[in-house]
C-alpha cells in the first residue's frame, strides 16, 4: 500500500469513527430516555440499564454505518479536492481508478464490519435483549421492593412499603387486593419479609391487621395477627417465553430451511428470505455508498467554488438507493422467489460507481465548475 493510500484510508477511518460516534450518540439518546424510564419505573439498577444499552448498540450501529460511511467519504474527498491534493495526484498521472483504490479498501472494511453485525452480533444481541427483558419483567425484587411508592403489580392490587432496612426488613407494609368484587381484602403490617420457597413467593407479615369487606351487605371483618403469610406468586406474571424469531436465527438456517422455518413459526417464506438476504445486501450497499460518493465528488476537477453540486448529487443518489431498498422489501416478503430483488440497490450502486468513475476523466459540461484552474 502506497503512502497516498495509507493517508487517504487513515483519513476515511478517522472521520468514519467520528461520524459514527456522533450518530450512535444521537440514536442512543432517543432510545435511552424511553428505556431508562421503563427500567427505573420497574425499580431496576443502573447496571441493568447499562446492560440493556450494550445489547442495543449493535442494532444502532448497523443503522448508522451507511450514513457514517457516506459522510466520511464526502468530507475527506471534499477536503482533498479543496486543498488541491487530488488535483496534484491527478497531475502526477493517477487515474480515477487509481485514486479510488483507498476508497475501495475502505469499502471492504465497511463490508466486513457490516457483515459481522448483520450475521452475528445483531441476531445474538436481539435474542439476549429480549431474553433479559423477559427476565427483568418477572424480577420480583425489582417489581415490589420499591420504597415510598404505591405499586400496582397487577390489576386490582395495590402494594406499598414505607421503608426497607439494610437487613431486608420491609417496614409499614400495605397490601390491598380488590380482584374479587365480592371480597375486598386489605392487610397492614408493621414489618414484613419476602420469602421464596418451592411453591412460590410469599410475603410474611408481622404484627398487623387484616380487614375483609364482604359484599353484598358491606360486612367488615377485622383480625389482628402476630404473623401472617400471603402468597404473592399470583401478583407476578408467569415468566415470559422468548418466542423464536427469524431475527435471531443464523443466516445459514434461514437460507437452507426456509420452508421448515415458515411452517414452524407460521410465517411467510418471503419474510424469511428477505431477512436472510438483507444480511448480505445491507453490507454491500453500505460499502458501495463510499464508492458512489467518491465517484460523484471526483467529477469536474478542482474549483475554488467548491464541490457543493457534487455533494448534493451524491446525497440524492444515496437517498435514491435507500428508496429502492425500501421499495423491494414488500414484493420479496409477499413472494420469496423474488429474493434477488434484495440485491438491486447494491447492483445499482455498483453501476453508478462504475459510470461515475468512467465519467470523472471526461466530465460532462453540467459538472464542469466555473473558475476551474
Mean pLDDT of 160-176: 88
Is residue 42 classed as helix, strand or coil in its secondary structure? Answer: coil
Q: In the structure, what pLDDT confidence band is assigned to residue 141 with cuts at 50, 70 and 90?
A: low
Query: Backbone phi, then psi, for 224, in 5-degree steps?
Result: -85, 140
Q: CA 274 to CA 309: how far, in whole Å?
A: 35
pLDDT digits (tens, 9 = 90+) for 316-355: 888 998 899 999 999 999 998 999 999 999 999 999 988 8
Sheet holding 170-177, edge to edge: 150-151, 157-164, 170-177, 183-197, 200-214, 219-231
**Alpha carbon distance 78, 75 (integer Å):** 5
Q: Which residues lie below 8 Å from residue 72, measured CB to CB, with a gap of 6+?
A: 12, 13, 15, 16, 18, 19, 290
Query: Is residue 370's pLDDT more than 50?
Result: no
Sort 182 into a burial class: Cβ within 10 Å, 0-12 / 13-18 / 19+.
exposed
Residue 111 has pLDDT above 80, yes or no: yes
The pLDDT-based confidence of 372 (bands split at 50, 70, 90) is very low
Mean pLDDT score across all residues of the chain: 82
Share of the chain above pLDDT 90, in %: 28
125-139, 198-212, 338-352: segment of lowest average pLDDT: 125-139
- Which DSSP helix (H) or strand (E) runs through 69? helix 46-82
State the cell numbers at 52.
Answer: 440493556
What local confidence, expressed as pLDDT, does residue 203 receive?
85
- Predicted TM-score (pTM) of the model is 0.70
Amino acid at each position: 500500500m502506497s503512502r497516498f493510500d495509507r493517508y487517504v484510508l487513515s483519513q476515511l477511518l478517522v472521520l468514519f469513527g467520528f461520524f459514527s460516534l456522533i450518530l450512535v450518540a444521537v440514536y442512543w439518546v432517543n432510545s435511552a430516555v424511553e428505556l431508562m424510564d421503563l427500567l427505573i419505573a420497574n425499580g431496576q439498577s443502573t447496571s441493568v440499564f447499562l446492560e440493556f444499552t450494550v445489547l442495543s448498540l449493535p442494532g444502532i450501529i448497523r443503522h448508522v454505518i451507511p450514513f457514517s460511511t457516506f459522510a466520511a467519504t464526502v468530507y475527506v474527498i471534499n477536503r482533498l479536492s479543496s486543498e488541491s491534493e487530488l488535483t496534484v495526484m491527478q497531475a502526477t498521472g493517477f487515474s480515477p481508478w487509481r485514486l479510488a483504490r483507498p476508497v475501495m479498501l475502505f469499502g471492504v472494511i465497511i463490508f466486513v464490519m457490516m457483515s459481522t453485525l448483520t450475521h452475528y452480533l445483531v441476531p445474538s444481541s436481539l435474542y439476549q435483549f429480549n431474553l433479559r427483558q423477559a427476565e427483568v419483567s418477572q424480577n420480583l425484587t425489582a417489581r415490589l421492593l420499591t420504597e415510598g411508592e404505591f405499586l400496582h403489580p397487577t390489576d386490582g392490587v395495590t402494594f406499598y412499603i414505607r421503608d426497607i432496612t439494610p437487613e431486608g426488613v420491609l417496614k409499614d407494609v400495605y397490601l390491598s387486593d380488590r380482584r374479587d368484587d365480592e371480597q375486598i381484602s386489605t392487610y397492614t403490617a408493621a414489618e414484613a419479609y419476602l420469602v421464596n420457597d418451592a411453591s412460590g413467593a410469599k410475603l410474611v407479615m408481622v404484627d398487623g391487621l387484616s380487614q375483609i369487606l364482604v359484599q353484598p351487605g358491606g360486612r367488615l371483618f377485622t383480625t389482628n395477627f402476630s404473623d401472617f403469610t400471603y402468597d404473592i406468586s399470583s401478583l407476578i406474571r408467569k415468566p415470559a417465553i422468548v418466542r423464536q424469531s427469524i431475527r435471531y436465527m443464523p443466516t445459514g438456517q434461514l437460507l437452507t430451511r426456509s420452508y421448515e422455518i415458515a411452517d414452524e413459526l407460521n410465517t411467510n417464506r418471503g419474510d424469511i428470505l428477505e431477512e436472510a438476504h438483507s444480511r448480505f445486501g445491507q453490507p454491500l450497499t453500505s460499502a458501495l455508498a463510499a464508492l458512489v460518493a467518491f465517484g460523484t465528488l471526483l467529477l469536474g476537477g478542482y474549483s475554488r467554488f467548491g464541490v457543493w453540486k457534487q455533494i448534493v448529487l451524491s446525497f440524492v443518489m444515496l437517498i435514491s438507493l435507500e428508496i429502492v431498498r425500501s421499495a423491494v422489501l414488500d414484493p420479496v416478503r409477499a413472494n420469496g422467489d423474488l429474493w434477488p430483488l434484495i440485491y438491486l440497490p447494491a447492483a445499482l450502486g455498483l453501476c453508478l460507481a462504475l459510470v461515475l468513475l468512467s465519467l470523472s476523466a471526461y466530465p460532462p459540461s453540467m459538472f464542469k465548475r466555473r473558475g476551474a484552474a
